[in-house]
Structure 1
C-alpha cells in the first residue's frame, strides 16, 4: 500500500486552474452571505484527486497555493495546510455519486432553520424541483467531521443535488462549481419560500408526477454541457 501511495504522489501534477476556481467560488460564497467566518468548505474532483479548501482558513485570504489536494482515500498529496474537517463527507459523496465533480458546504440562514425544524421540503416550486430534486431531505444528526455524518448525508442526499445537514447547514453538489453554487442559491431561496409559506397558510404542493417529469427534464435535456 505504501508503494501505491508513493507512486500516486509522484504522478500528481497540481492543477492551478482548479485551485483558482475554488478560490473564486469561495469568495462568491462569502459575498452572497452563505457562510460566516471560516465555516463551510468547497471541493472539486479531478480524476483520482480531490481539491479542497483548508480547515479554518478565512476565504478573503485564500489563494490557490492554500488549496489542499488529497487522493480518493484522503491521503494528502499537495499542500502544507490541513484539509477541511469535513473531508470525510466530500470523499463519501464522490465515492457514491459518479456524476458529482464539485461540492459546496455552507451555513445559510434559512437552510439552517430547515435543518433544525423540518424533515424535508416537498416539491413546492418548479426551479427547486428541477435543479435540486423532487423532495429535499434533512439528514440524521451526527457530529461534524465524522464518518457517521458523511454516511447520514449521502443517505439523505440520494440522487438529489442538495441535502440539509441536521442542526448544521447545507450541502450542494454539481457537475461543476457553477452548478453546485446555483444549487446552493436555489436551496436557500426554496428554504426561505417554504418557511414563509408555512407562516401564511396551507402550502400548495406540486403533484408527484409533475415533479418527477420536471426533474427528469432538467437532468436529461435542460442543462447545458
Structure 2
C-alpha cells in the first residue's frame, strides 16, 4: 500500500511541477512578444499524459488547480477547462517524435515569412539547431487534422517549422529547449526580413552543407559534467 501511495504522490508532484513550468513558459511567450493575448499554446509530456494550456484563458490567470491534461489519444483526464483548440497539432508531434514539449506561437516576423516563402532562406547557421532549412507547412484551418498533417510533413527531420499565414511550431526534449527553438526561429525570420528589405541588395545565404557542418559542431556545444 505504501509503494502505491508513494508512486501516486510522485506522479502528482511531477504533474504539479510540469504545470508550473508550462504556465511559466506560456507567460514568457506573451512577455517576449511571441503571442498576443491567448493566441499560441504550450504543452509538455509527463509519462503518458500531455499537459496543455487551456483554450481562451489568459495565462496570467492560470492557477495550479487549473491544470489540464489529456492522454495521447486526446481524452481529457485532468481538469475542467477545455484544452487548447490546437490539441490535434500537439498530439501529432508527440505521436510522431520523441518530443517532451511543444511550443506554438503567432510570432510576427515568423508569421510574415510564412506568407512569403516555402522555406526560410539559410540566412544564419542557427538553422542547424532546428535540423536544417525550416519549411513552411501549407495553410489549413486552425485546430484541424489537415493542419496537423501538413505540419508533420514540414517537420520531417526538423524540430521546428512555419505554418503558412499562422505562426510557428517547435518541439524539444524540454520546455526550455522547445522555447529556445521558437525564439531562435523568430530571430532568424526577423534577420532575413531585415536583410532582404535593403534596396538593391540580396542577403548572402549559407549552403545546406555549411549548415550540416554546424549541426555536427553543435553536438558538442555547451557544458559537460
Specify if TM > 0.5: yes
What's the CA shift for 1:148?
A: 0.6
Deviation at 1:54?
Answer: 0.3
TM-score (norm 2): 0.89
Q: Distance in 2 between matches of 1:64 and 1:21?
A: 11
- C-alpha offsets along residues 60-101 of structure 1, whole Å, 9 cap, x if unaligned? 111232221110100011000100000000110111112x11
Task: Give 5+ residue unaligned stretches, structure 2.
Answer: 1-7
Aligned pairs, how many?
Answer: 213
| Alignment partner, residue 205 of structure 2 | 205
Q: Does 1:102 align with 2:77?
A: no
Unaligned runs of 5+ in 1: 1-9
Match of 1:80 in 2: 80
The alpha-carbon deviation at position 223 of structure 1 amounts to 5.5
Task: Show the counterpart of 1:132.
Answer: 130
RMSD: 1.8
Q: Does 1:34 align with 2:34?
A: yes
CA contact 1:53–1:66 (8 Å) conserved in 2: no
CA contact (8 A) 1:122 1:205 kept: yes
The 2-side partners of 1:141 and 1:197 are apart by: 26
**Residues 111 and 168 of structure 2 are in contact (CA less than 8 Å); yes or no, is this contact kept in structure 1?**
yes
Structure 1 position 39, deviation (Å): 0.8
Structure 1 runs of 4+ aligned residues shifted over 3 Å read none
Residue aligning to 1:7 = none
Aligned to 1:136, the other structure's residue is in SS state coil
Q: 1:50-199 to 2 correspondence within 5 Å? A: 50-98=50-98, 100-126=99-125, 128-199=126-197
CA spacing shift, 1:106–1:80, aligned 2, 3 Å: same
Deviations 1:190-216 (A, max 9, x none): 001111111222121112212112123
Quote the offset at 1:130 in angstroms.
Answer: 2.8
| Counterpart contact for 2:133–2:208, Cα < 8 Å | no
Residue pair 1:124, 1:204 contacting (<8 A) in 2 also: yes
SS at match of 1:167: coil
Q: Mean alpha-carbon deviation: is it higher for 138-147 or for 205-214?
A: 205-214
CA–CA distance in structure 1, aligned partners of residues 172 and 223 of structure 2:
13
User: Residues of 2 paired with 1:110 and 1:224: CA distance?
Assistant: 31
1:106 deviates by: 0.7
Instruction: Tell me: CA distance 1:50–1:191, structure 2 relative to 1, closer, same or farther (3 Å).
Output: same
**Cα distance in 2, alignment partners of residues 83 and 63 from structure 1:** 15
d(CA) in 2 for partners of 1:159, 1:222: 20
